Amino acid sequence: EHHHHIAVLAGDGIGPEVMAQALKVLDAVSGKFGFTVSRKEAFVGGAGIDHCGKALPEETIRACEEADAVLFGSVGGPKWEHLPANEQPERGALLPLRKHFGLYANLRPGVCLPALTHASPIKNELIEGGFDILCVRELTGGLYFGQPRFREREGDDEVVVDTMRYHKSEMVRIAKVAFEAARGRRKRVTSVDKANVLTNSLLWRETMIEVSKDYPDVELLHMYVDNAAMQLVRNPRQFDVLVTENLFGDILSDEMAMICGSLGMLPSASLCQGAQDNGLFFGLYEPSGGSAPDIAGKGIANPIAQILSLSMLLRYSLGEKTAADAIDSAVRRVIDQGCRTGDLATGAPGEIRVNTAEMGDAIIAAL
Amino acid sequence: EHHHHIAVLAGDGIGPEVMAQALKVLDAVSGKFGFTVSRKEAFVGGAGIDHCGKALPEETIRACEEADAVLFGSVGGPKWEHLPANEQPERGALLPLRKHFGLYANLRPGVCLPALTHASPIKNELIEGGFDILCVRELTGGLYFGQPRFREREGDDEVVVDTMRYHKSEMVRIAKVAFEAARGRRKRVTSVDKANVLTNSLLWRETMIEVSKDYPDVELLHMYVDNAAMQLVRNPRQFDVLVTENLFGDILSDEMAMICGSLGMLPSASLCQGAQDNGLFFGLYEPSGGSAPDIAGKGIANPIAQILSLSMLLRYSLGEKTAADAIDSAVRRVIDQGCRTGDLATGAPGEIRVNTAEMGDAIIAAL
Ligand SMILES: CC(C)[C@H](C(=O)O)[C@@H](O)C(=O)O
Ligand SMILES: CC(C)[C@H](C(=O)O)[C@@H](O)C(=O)O
């Protein structure tokens, strides 16, 4: 009891640097809160290609299978961009991992802290006091994996097909994730669809309404995806939990992340129901931002997204809620104290410029 | 020669009010530049439902068929929201019109004038000097019309399918529209796709590259749709012409419009090749914003989007380029003079508050 085991896939670019800070924080909280976590490191992405010939080597899959959860860094970089799309680090590692483990629920918090609204591209008067959205994206259905998908000649022309296919059961389970999450928050779910055009969206909307009956305490709103893309810019504070299908979620969660203004702060979790019936998920946890090859190796990247990914891992996969809460508060505290990596700094008085390792240290000190 | 004929579909909400201003401007320019335009008015949207039992009555289709172009107002409102999705004013009028006339090219200028950057939700330092994007959206292919689309039982579950289907020839013709447009602008086309996931996008990307060979003077860039949703917020000034498929275009063009900050200023054109080989298109021209039922009937709506829609109609369908240029300059002039409808007003010194009719008059005076 209270012993856990995780796989650590640091990947490329800034991945290893920010991962080192997350692991330091893991040591600190496990000591403080009395649990142990053994770790197995494995190659992924460009590192996988370089060391084992592919973005997702077999032994990496095995390491993940044997773990309670996967802490993932980031993958990709110019070195591997000449490869065909489905062998590239991102595509070649993330999609197979999602599919292999059935990671159907992608949770992306879009938090803009009150102290960091200046970093958002949105005018301050529209986001005063910051905002806090949780985007719940379905991650294993729709156009990403739907069959048939093909291209073929048709006389002088060529035709190409992808298929947006969903089962109602897939919609039900992601809806439950969204409503459960809303219960622990501000109790509002905005379901995003294109019900004026897509057959998928008609079933989606019906299903959201059906599932909402089990959550009478949670408000359900519907919004077309084109309108959601506008409303995120116009008034992000109107959202609590956003729930949507795979491709819409891909687009809207990135738009939301950009509106937060500090990609280096945003974690994400990709979950599936765990083997035991204990409310815990198996999951892969990673920063929302990319591998940032331009600043890799300089020790200046913001490690907070990776550290908050660890906090999500502790919460959703290991059930170490107290440790997760402690990390979240420590992060807020160092931000309130004025600690700023380069991506957050404005030169305002009171700011303390820190590098990657110093930010990690500050968070550990604040624990 | 120099006699034209258009259909006028004012629709619902603010549609009739702003249309009245556009028709005043049409009178003024046709007198000034020596051409005549006869008009046939017809019901559409909620007005179509109320007067003829459907959003797109047969006689309205006939009126459009007999015209060189269609000037469209806006449709929809709470009165008709209880109807099934495909009978509602927007969906029930716009999709059938696009399909019936094969209006495959949707052109949406996303212009933020230097004098109006304050109205954008984006921080001023990111959009200083304004910006000028042209979004070219494919409008008759992809998930909107692709077959098969169905839902059916599957054991205890239900499965639902929509199909993203494109012909290469459809991609070629929209690419040409984008590259031609770029030639008259800053000579940069950004093609948006999801080539790391969709088979459609692989053919799309290949086709854009192929067509670009005929436009060696135009630069072609590729961007994933999730990244485009971020870049529009982060730095809209990087874009000249954006070209993308139907659903991505639906989402991104609305996001872009919101970033401009003044929906009441943005026209759009939905085009298909005309019958004659004279470089002119048949087309439907409409404001990008909606019918704004909340301010309908008050005479305060901004008529500029409707007036610029007229200008696009004169340019693309009637070949009256001089008149179109004159309208565009007149609009810029009244904005520079400080004329502001309620949606644009900030209370800054030098602003002249005007209502719908006064804005129309000011533009005519500036012609
Ligand atoms: C790399 C790509 C396939 C992936 C996706 O589209 O899901 C990425 O954009 C993401 O959002 O995690
Ligand atoms: C009304 C709807 C079907 C339409 C679309 O999605 O194309 C609208 O959103 C638009 O962009 O013109």
3-state secondary structure string across B272-316: EECCCCCCCEEEEEEECCCCCHHHCCCCCCCCHHHHHHHHHHHHH
A196, A198, A224: residue to mutate for ligand 2 pocket, most atoms within 8 A of CB: A196
pLDDT for res A274:
76
Closest-CA residue of B relative to A165 is B161
Task: Calculate what percentage of chain B has a pLDDT beyond 70.
Answer: 100
> Which two structure tokens, joined as six digits, stand for A152?
């073929």
Strands A36-41 and A3-11: parallel
Place of tokens 């929809």: B76
Nearest-CA distance A94 → chain B (Å): 11
Quick one: residue B116, left, alpha or beta (phi over 0 = left, psi -120 to 50 = alpha)? alpha
Q: How is residue B151 written in tokens?
A: 């839902």
User: A–B: how many Cβ contacts below 8 A?
Assistant: 173
> Which residues of chain A are under the pLDDT cut of 50?
none
Which amino acid makes up residue A116? L
Residue B109 to residue B256: CA distance in whole angstroms: 9
Which DSSP symbol is given to B122? B
Task: Return the exposure string of A292-324: e unless at least 16 CB atoms fall within 10 Å of the residue's CB, then b.
Answer: bbebbeeebbbbbbbbbbbbbbbbbbbbbeebb
> For residue B343, what pLDDT is reported?
94
Return the active site residues of B: 144, 194, 226, 250, 254
Q: What is the pLDDT of residues B91-116, one digit of tens each?
A: 999 999 999 999 999 999 999 999 99
Mean pLDDT of chain B: 97
Say if strands A339-340 and A281-287 run parallel, antiparallel, or are unpaired.
unpaired
pLDDT at residue B131 is higher than 80 = yes
Nearest CA to A194 out of B95, B134, B235 is that of B95
Q: What does the pLDDT look like over A208-222, one tens digit per residue?
A: 999 999 999 999 999
CA distances from A233 to A337, B234, B253 (A): 29, 11, 13
* Pairing relationship of beta strands A131-138 and B281-287 according to DSSP bridges: unpaired
Q: Confirm if A351 and A118 have CB atoms less than 8 A apart.
A: no
Residue B80: the pLDDT is: 96
d(CA B182, CA B175): 11
- Give the ligand at the shortest distance from the Cα of B225: 1
Q: What is the largest CA-CA distance in chain B?
A: 69
Q: Within an 8 Å CB–CB cutoff, is residue B222 touching chain A?
A: no
B189 CA → ligand 1 middle, Å: 23
Please name the helix (run of DSSP H) or strand (run of DSSP E) that holds residue A161, with its range, or none. strand A157-167
Residue B320 among known ligand-binding residues? no
Question: Ligand 2 pocket: which of B86, B87, B250 to mutate (most atoms <8 Å of CB)?
Answer: B250
Residue B29 CA from chain centroid, whole number = 22
Answer whether A34's CB lies under 8 Å from A326's CB. Answer: no
d(CA A74, CA A309): 12
Quick: pLDDT tens for B261-285. 989 999 999 999 877 778 899 999 9
Is A83 within 8 Å of chain B by CB?
A: no
- Point out the ligand 2 atom lying closest to the alpha carbon of residue B246: 7
DSSP secondary structure letter of residue B359: H
The reported pLDDT for the residue numbered B279 is 87
pTM across the whole model? 0.97
Residue from B211, B213, B216, B229 nearest B187 by CA: B216
According to the 3-state scheme, what is the secondary structure of A304-361? HHHHHHHHHHHHHCCCCHHHHHHHHHHHHHHHHHCEECCCCCCCCCCCEECCHHHHHH
- Ligand 1 binding pocket (C-beta < 6 A) is A 90-91, 94-95, 250; B 196-197, 226
Helices (H), chain B: 15-33, 46-52, 58-65, 89-101, 168-183, 199-212, 225-234, 246-260, 304-316, 321-337, 356-366
| Nearest CB neighbour to B166, from listed A123, A160, A252 | A160
Mean pLDDT within B140-163: 98
| Distance in Å, CA A133 to ligand 1 centroid | 19
| Active-site annotation holds for A250 | yes
B361: closest CA of chain A, how far (Å): 31
Give the length of chain A.
Answer: 367
**pLDDT category, B1, cuts 50, 70, 90?**
low
CB B243: neighbour CB atoms within 10 A?
A: 29
Digit-coded pLDDT (tens) for A186-236: 999 999 999 999 999 999 999 999 999 999 999 999 999 999 999 999 999
Ligand 2 center to B302 CA (angstroms) = 21
CA torsion B244-B246-B251-B257 (nearest 10°) is 70
Residue B274, φ and ψ in degrees, nearest 5: -75, 170
| Residues B327-351 as b or e (16 or more Cβ within 10 Å = b) | bbebbeebbeeebbbebbeeeeeee
Q: Alpha-carbon distance B173 to B188, whole Å?
A: 17
One-letter amino acid for residue A2 of the chain:
H
Q: What one-character-per-residue DSSP string does A102-132 give?
A: T--EEEEEEEE-GGGGGGSSB-GGGSTT-EE
Residue A1 confidence (pLDDT): 55
> How far B324 CA sits from the closest chain A CA (Å)?
29
Query: Which B positions 51-70 lie with beta carbon below 8 A of chain A?
Result: none
Angle at B110 between CA B106 and CA B115, to 5 degrees: 155
Judge whether B70 and B309 are in contact, CB under 8 Å.
no
Q: State the CB neighbour count (10 A cutoff) for residue A156.
A: 7
Mean pLDDT, residues B179-193 taken together: 98
Who among B149, B150, B227 is closest to A254 (CB)? B227
Centroid of ligand 2 to alpha carbon of A306 (angstroms): 39
Confidence at residue B289, expressed as pLDDT on a 0 to 100 scale: 92
Tokens of B350: 């030098």
Query: For residue A252, what is the enclosing H or E element?
Result: helix A246-260
Task: Tell me which chain B residue has its CA closest to the CA of residue A125.
Answer: B121
Report the nearest atom of ligand 2 relative to the CA of B250. 11
